[in-house]
Amino acid sequence: MPEPMLPEELDRHTKILNQSEDRELLAASAVALAASEDPAALLALARELRRAEFLNRLDDTSDPESDISNLRDVFGALAEHAVPASARLCELIYPQPDFRTIPARINLLLQALAAVRPTSAEGADVFRASSAEGFAEVNGPLLIENESPRALQVFEELIAGGWVESYIKVDILHRSVLPKRTSLPVLMACARLYERGLPGEVRDGLIETLFDHQSRRWFGPERRPPIPPAWQSASTEALNFLIAFANRVLTRPLDDRLRPAVQSTRAELESIRRARTS
């Protein structure tokens, strides 16, 4: 547990945030508060982040090339030092009109909020609201990476709900779930989604994400497409769950394109499991 910031240090940084016109000095103090993990320091930072006057002193918002470069460092520090108080900062800042004038700021906020585990009820509401306001594709990978129960619940709502169209949901599944395909909490969320009566396109997108990796078809010539972990890295519990899920999928109506892939992946998973018990 980090030590609280000394009162005189907090006072010095707060005065800089209130008064300084030096962007480099402002950024250094804001980052120091963000990295402190101290609730009082984070609350002081939150008060400033709500104000357009401070945000405009922190970054030159008239320059499209650098309009949030210092703010990016601040939220990077929040993400690196993720504590409940940093989540509370994000929850307080998200609805502020002055903060929201540059949408890219919200991306940074969501990344810092997702770094805090577990996601709080208030944090989950921020992810819901932002998903409904155009940030669903940002949130999908963040929620899956977080893995905590409320984060996965919002992810399920995102895929099952009406915030985005089906083809976008399929892309979100590919990009979010594929890198976490051996995570038991993520697999359990996928199994719950499968039972929710998804549109056929989305249901097939869920199945192929787990059982039919097709990077070129899904991501085209991207230089750094999402990479799935090797099946051998899955826990035995996750292997058992995947095999049981494959069996369930194969007993129900399934696109002819997917059936051989599910059968082949199931056989690979069973082989890995046998090797562990022999």
User: What is the pTM (predicted TM-score) of this model?
Assistant: 0.94
Q: Name which of 5-14, 111-120, 146-155, 265-274 the model is least confident about.
A: 5-14
Tokens representing 114? 């997702």
Q: Tens digit of pLDDT for each residue in 138-148?
A: 999 999 999 99
Mean pLDDT within 73-81: 98
- Helix H, strand E, coil C: the string for the chain is CCCCCCHHHHHHHHHHHHHCCCHHHHHHHHHHHHHCCCHHHHHHHHHHHCCHHHHHHHCCCCCCCCCCHHHHHHHHHHHHCCCHHHHHHHHHHCCCCCHHHCHHHHHHHHHHHHCCCCCCHHHHHHHHHHHHHHHHHHHHHHHHHHCCHHHHHHHHHHHHCCCCCHHHHHHHHHHHHHHHCCCHHHHHHHHHHHCCCCCHHHHHHHHHHHHCCCHHHHHCCCCCCCCCCCHHHCCHHHHHHHHHHHHHHHCCCCCCCCHHHHHHHHHHHHHHHHHHHC
Q: Tens digit of pLDDT for each residue in 204-247?
A: 999 999 999 999 999 999 889 999 999 999 999 999 999 999 99
Is the pLDDT assigned to residue 92 strictly greater than 80? yes
pLDDT class for 267, splitting at 50, 70, 90?
very high
